[in-house]
Amino acid sequence: MPALAAPDAAAASPASAPAVEFAGVTKHYGGPAGSAVVALDDVSLAVEAGEIFGILGESGAGKSTLLRLCNGLESPSAGRVSVEGTDLSTLSKARLAAMRRRIGVVFQGFNLLGNRTVRQNIELPLKLQRTRDREFVDQLLDFVSLSHRAGNYPAQLSGGEKQRVAIARSLVTRPGVLLCDEPTSALDTQTTHDILNLLVHTRDRFGTTIVIVTHELDVVKAICRRAAVFEGGRLRETLTVRGERREKPESYLEHARSVLLS
């Protein structure tokens, strides 16, 4: 198993606009009996193009809300969310839809269609746009090492394979930004390592900026250059990951040995 690639190998020049920028963003939701829940409170952060950026926080910290604002599923109560230099609130419905195709999403639960094959799942976003790109789909199947599984259905795949299909599907519209919501929480240690490797390769090959929401510090340590720590909707601190990344063991047995015998 190769070690993970350097976390900032493809970081873009500082001159380019941030891939994602929050400027003074607050998000309220209506609570019971007219009360309001403040899910995000005056959050400002910038994710550089080509960066793999972590979002950390305990349950209810506001992580999912931040992702929904990033891909324009929700709009802020105050402040500005920009993607690739464009303030999402300035976009017409059609242009927001086009922008959302520049933003891929990968979920903890994979969200694959059970009655479609691996290839059909990957092709689905193109089909919804009434386009085809068979050659790119073939390239993506190869990229995620699933060419031999193209005709299989999700139920015939392992969790790691399902997540690789989901990653290929998220890349088929060639997004500039990939949002990952707890992408490895349902996976074992070795499979987590493989998926994190794939995310690093995605950034290196396609230049994709990756924002990864997780509660797993090891995940951030393995692939992120920086991570924002949220508590109760507030950005408490943005940390720069320091030190040597621990190389993951070659096999599950070695991992078990290193944990149980040390």
Ligand X SMILES: Nc1ncnc2c1ncn2[C@@H]1O[C@H](COP(=O)(O)OP(=O)(O)OP(=O)(O)O)[C@@H](O)[C@H]1O
**Chain contacts with ligand X (rule: CB under 6 A):** 29, 37, 39, 57, 59-65
Shortest CB 79 distance to ligand X, Å: 16
User: With respect to ligand X, which residue has the nearer C-beta, 171 or 224?
Assistant: 224
User: With respect to ligand X, which residue has the nearer C-beta, 139 or 238?
Assistant: 238
Distance CA 247, CA 195 (A): 15
DSSP 176-208: SEEEEESTTTTS-HHHHHHHHHHHHHHHHHH--
Shortest CB 136 distance to ligand X, Å: 32
Shortest CB 205 distance to ligand X, Å: 29
Distance CA 148, CA 223 (A): 28
| SS3 of the chain: helix, strand, coil, percent, to 5 | 35, 25, 40
Shortest CB 58 distance to ligand X, Å: 7
Shortest CB 102 distance to ligand X, Å: 23
CB of 119 closer than 8 Å to CB of 167: no
Burial (CB < 10 A; 0-12, 13-18, 19+), residue 212, is buried
User: With respect to ligand X, which residue has the nearer C-beta, 67 or 99?
Assistant: 67
User: With respect to ligand X, which residue has the nearer C-beta, 29 or 252?
Assistant: 29
User: With respect to ligand X, which residue has the nearer C-beta, 64 or 117?
Assistant: 64
Distance CA 8, CA 183 (A): 20
What would the two tokens of residue 106 be?
A: 């990968």
Shortest CB 3 distance to ligand X, Å: 29
CA–centroid distance for 69 within its chain:
14
User: With respect to ligand X, which residue has the nearer C-beta, 120 or 238?
Assistant: 238
